[in-house]
Structure 1
Amino acid sequence: MKKGKKSCKINKQNLMLILGVDTSCDDTSIATLKIKNQKSKIKDIEVLSSVVSSQEKLHAKYGGVWPAMAQREHEKNLVFVLEKALKEAKSIGQKENGNGKKITEKKQKTLSKILEREPLLKENLLKFLNKYQKPKIEAIAVTIGPGLEPCLWQGLNFAKALAFMWEIPIIPVNHLEGHLVSCFLQKTGKNFQFSIFNFQKKIWPAMGLIVSGGHTQLVLIKKIGDYKIIGQTLDDAAGECFDKTARILGLGYPGGPKIATLAAKATSLPTPNYQIPNNLPRPMMSSKNFDFSFSGLKTAVLYTWQKIPQKQKTSKMKTALAHEIQQAIIDVLLHKAIRAASTFKAKSFLLCGGVSANKELRKQFSEKLKAEKPSLGLLTAENGFFTDNGAMIALSGLCNLKKKQKFPFKNIRANGNLNI
C-alpha cells in the first residue's frame, strides 16, 4: 500500500479505541477494540463489542449471495450496526439539548460527495451524527478487499465518511490478513482478549490455511505482515464446493453447515458409505505442489447423485453422501497442509476462515497434528470469530499501526481481487 501524509500511531495514553468495519460479502460487521498501553507499548487488547448483521436468510432462496442485494442491505444496515456496536462498547452518548458541535454546511457538502452513491447511507448517518456525540474512537480499520467489490465500497465509503466527520485516521485492511490474525483471538472471562503481541518468535515461521467460500490458500507467515502464498485453489474454493454439492443434494444454502449437520449423523448408519456407488475422489492429493482443486469433486458428486435411483435418494443416502463429501474435503486439506508445514519447517499452524467453523475439520486437524507433528502448535479463532467479523479487521488494522504505516485518505480504494 502506498504511503501518504496521514497516519495514526499508538498513543502514549493508557487507552485507545479502534473501530473495525467489514462488508466484504453478505455480513455487515462492526467491532470495537480497546487497547491498553504502557509506556507506548501494547499491554492488553479487549473486544468491547462485535456485532454482525447476517443476510443469510435473504440469500438462501437464491442458493448463494446476490451481490446487488448484498450491497443494498449493507447500505441499510451499516449505521444501525455501528450504533449497536458502540452501545455494547459503552462508547456512545447522546447530544443533550442541542449541545455538541453542529454539522456545518461545508462538512455536509463533503459528506455528500463521499456518499454520493449511497443516499440512504448518507441519510441514516446524518441522523446518527446529529443524535450522538463523537465517541472516543481514535482510528477506523476497514476491509478494502478481497471480496464482492460493490459490498466493499459500501463499507469503505462509510468508514471514509466517519473518518472525515470524526477527524480520525482510516486504516485499509486486507480481509485475508484479518482471517489470519483472527487465530489470536482468545476467550477469557466476559470479554475477548488477544495475546498476539505477547507471542515470542518461537511461533514463527507459521503455516496458515485460509479456507472459506471464496478462498483456499496455504500461506507461509514469517511474521505478521510478511506473507507468501505457497498454494491455493485452481478453481473452486472449499467453501464453494460445500455450497455447490449441498445444492446438488437439495440441502439449501449455506451448504457448509448443512453438510456438516448431516455428516455428523452418518455414524448411526448401517455401513460407513450406505451403498454409495463409489467413494468420492480426493482431487490433487497426490500432486507434488501445494495447490488445490475442488471442481472435480463437485462434478463427481453430481454424477454420483444422478446415478442413484430415485427410490434410493433417501435421507440416509443424503447423510452418507454428505459425510463422504465432508471427509473428501478434509482429507485433501489435511494432507496438503501438514506436508506444507513440514516442508517449510513451520513452528505453528493457523487454521482460519469460515470453513474452519466446521467442528470435524478442527477435530481432525488437532488429532492429526498431535499424531504426526506434536511440536506444531495449532491456533484457531474462538467460536464467533471463524466467519467474517469486525474484530479481526480492527486487530489487523492495529498490526498495521504497529508497523507505523501511513495511509492516504483519498487514494484508498476497494479491490475485489486483492491478494495477501
Structure 2
Amino acid sequence: MLGIETSCDETGVALLRWYPEAPGEGLLSHALYSQIKLHAEYGGVVPELASRDHVRKLLPLVREALAQAGLTPADLGGVAYTAGPGLVGALLVGASAARAMAWALGVPAIGVHHMEGHLLAPLLEEDPPEPPFVALLVSGGHSMLVEVKGIGEYRILGDTLDDAAGEAFDKTAKLMGLPYPGGPALAKLAEQGRPGAFRFSRPMTDRPGLDFSFSGLKTQVLLAWQQSDQSEQTRADIARAFEEAIVDTMIIKCRRALQAAGAKRLVIAGGVGANKRLRAELAAAGEKDGFKAYFPRLAFCTDNGAMIALAGAIRLAHGQHQDESVQVFPRWDLETLPPAM
C-alpha cells in the first residue's frame, strides 16, 4: 500500500505491507518533506505556494520511498491518499497523482480522512490500542475528543469553537515575536520558564462540556506580554504559563471524556501530540486515574504518509474504495465515515 499525504504544508509518502494483527511491523519505508522554509517568509502557510511545492516534491518522494523499500511501482497493490479535510489545492495534487498511479497500475485507490489517519497512527506502534477508546486529536486546525467504538464508528464528544490548540500555539508565539513555525518554538522556550511567574485561565473548564476554546487565552497572553518588561525571561515565563494552561485544559477534558464514554484507553494524536509536557502529564494522569495513554512516535504525530497508508489499507481490506473520479473534501465530518466491517 502506497500512502500519500498532501493536506497542507508537508508532503508525506510511505509504503506499508498490511498485517491486520501487527500493522506497525509492515511499515517498509516513509519519506517526508516539510515546507517550513518556504512559508517562513510569510509567517504562515500560503495555499498556492503549498500546492505548487507538492507538485514538485511528490513524485521524487514516491521514488525515494520505493527505493528505500526495494520495490517498484509494479509491486503496489493499492494507493491511499488524503482526500480531506485540508487545503483544496494541496489535496488535489495528492488525489490526482494517486488516482493516476492507481489507474496506470490497475490497482484500487482510496481517499482517506486526514483525521482518521491521525487517529489510527498509534496502531503503527508495538503496543497498539484496541477499540473502544477515546481519542484526543490536537493539531493546527483541530482540537477534538472522539469516542471510538470501532474503525469508522466515531462520535465527536467535543470540538474546538474557535482556535484549535496548535493554532493558538502558533498565534501566541507570533505575537511574542517568536520565529515561524511558532508552536515548537514556544514549547522549547517554555522549558526555560519559571513555574508560577504567570498564570492563565483554563478555558471552559469551569462549566460542563467537552468543547475547547483558546481564543480568550490568546488574548490573556497578549495583554500580559504588552504589560510586561518583554525581557527574554519574561517571554519564557509567559510561554510556560500558556503551555501549562493548554495542557491542563486538555487533561481536564480528557478525564471528562473518558468518564463519559466509560473508556480506559486514551489515544493522543496530531501535531500537538508531540508536545513533551502534554505527553508526560497525560501519562502521569493515566497512572493516577487508571487509564492508559497511547501516543504515536514523534515522527508520526505531524502529517505523514504512514498514517494514510495504514488507514487506506484497513479500508481496502474491508472492500472499500471509490470510483476513478478525483474528489477532495476541504471540509469533511469525521462522523460521516462508514464503519470498516
CA distance in 1, matches of 2:21, 2:235: 51
1:403 Cα shift?
2.4
Residue matched to 2:137: 210
Which secondary structure state, in structure 1, belongs to the residue aligned with residue 185 of structure 2? helix
Q: 1:299 & 1:21 partners in 2: Cα distance?
A: 37
Query: Which segment is superposed worse, 334-343 or 44-53?
Result: 44-53
- Counterpart in 1 of 2:209? 289
| 1:115-148 Cα deviation digits (max 9, x unpaired) | xxxxxxxxxxxxxxxxxxx430010000000111
Distance (whole Å) between structure 1 residues aligned to residue 71 and residue 293 of structure 2? 35
Aligned pairs (5 A) from 1:12-51? 18-35=1-18, 45-51=25-31
Instruction: State whether residues 283 and 292 of structure 2, in contact with CA within 8 Å, keep that contact through their aligned partners in structure 1.
Output: no
**2:329 is matched with which residue?**
415
How many Å separate the matches in 1 of 2:196 and 2:263? Answer: 36
Within 2, Cα distance between the matches of 1:51 and 1:353? 18
Task: Give yes or no for contact 1:204–1:346 (8 Å, CA) kept in 2.
Answer: no
Equivalent residue runs for 1:281-320 within 5 Å = 281-308=201-228, 312-320=229-237
Paired residue for 1:229? Answer: 156
- CA distance in structure 2 between the partners assigned to 1:406 and 1:178 by the alignment: 16
Equivalent in 299, 321, 325 of residue 384 of structure 1: 299
CA contact (8 A) 1:273 1:321 kept: no
The amino acid of 1:416's aligned partner reads P
Cα deviation for residue 338 of structure 1 reads 1.0
Which residue type is aligned with residue 342 of structure 1? Q
Structure exhibiting the larger radius of gyration computed from Cα positions: 1
Residue identity in the other structure for 1:177: E
> What corresponds to 2:102 in structure 1?
163
1:220 aligned partner: 147
Residue identity matched to 1:55: Q
Task: Note the C-alpha offset of 1:61.
Answer: 2.1
1:215 maps to amino acid: H
Partner SS state of residue 84, structure 1: helix
Aligned counterpart in structure 2 of residue 323 of structure 1, from 228, 240, 250: 240
Distance 2:91 2:171 in 1: 24
Cα shift readout 1:133-187 (whole Å, capped 9, x = no counterpart): x430010000000111111011000101111111111011000000011011216
Q: Secondary structure at the match of 1:24?
A: coil
Contact residue 208 and residue 219 of structure 1 kept, 8 A: yes
Q: Distance in 2 between matches of 1:245 and 1:363?
A: 22
Report whether the alignment pairs 1:150 with 2:85.
Answer: no
Q: Is the 8 A contact 2:13 2:32 kept in 1?
A: yes
State the shift of 1:347 in Å.
2.7
Mapped contact 1:26–1:70 kept (Cα < 8 A): yes
Given that residues 17 and 28 in structure 2 are in contact (C-alpha distance below 8 angstroms), is that contact kept between their aligned partners in structure 1? yes
Q: Which residue of 2 aligns with 1:175?
A: 114
Q: Which moves more between the two structures, 50-59 or 397-406? A: 397-406
RMSD: 1.5
Partner amino acid for 2:177? G
Post-superposition offset of 1:287: 2.2
Name the SS for the 2:157 alignment partner. Answer: strand
Cα shift readout 1:96-130 (whole Å, capped 9, x = no counterpart): xxxxxxxxxxxxxxxxxxxxxxxxxxxxxxxxxxx
Distance 1:223 1:35 in 2: 18
Looking at structure 1, the residues matched to 107 and 321 of structure 2 have their Cα atoms a distance apart, in angstroms, of: 13
- Per-residue deviation, residues 257-302 of structure 1 (Å, max 9, x unmatched): 1111111122xx4xx244x4xx212111122111000111111111
**Where do residues 5-404 of structure 1 align in structure 2 (5 Å cutoff)?**
18-35=1-18, 45-92=25-72, 134-186=73-125, 203-266=130-193, 269=194, 272-274=195-197, 276=198, 279-308=199-228, 312-372=229-289, 374=290, 376-404=291-319
Q: Tell me the distance in 2 between the aligned counterparts of 1:403 and 1:83.
A: 28
2:62 aligned partner, one-letter code? L
Q: Distance in 1 between matches of 2:81 and 2:273?
A: 23
Normalising by structure 2, report the TM-score.
0.94
Structure 2 unmatched runs, 5+: 335-341
Taking structure 1 as the reference length, what is the TM-score of the superposition? 0.77
Deviation of 1:42 (Å):
5.6
Distance in 2 separating the partners of 1:185 and 1:71: 28
Conserved 8 A contact 1:141-1:171: yes
One-letter amino acid matched to 1:65: V
Show CA shifts across 1:25-48 (max 9, x none): 100000000235xxxx76664111
In 2: Cα distance, 1:351 partner to 1:305 partner: 30
CA distance in 2, matches of 1:355, 1:144: 22
Hey, which bits of structure 1, 4+ residues long, moved more than 6 A? none
Q: Which runs of 5+ in 1 are unaligned?
A: 1-17, 93-133, 188-194
The structure where helix makes up a greater share of residues is: 2
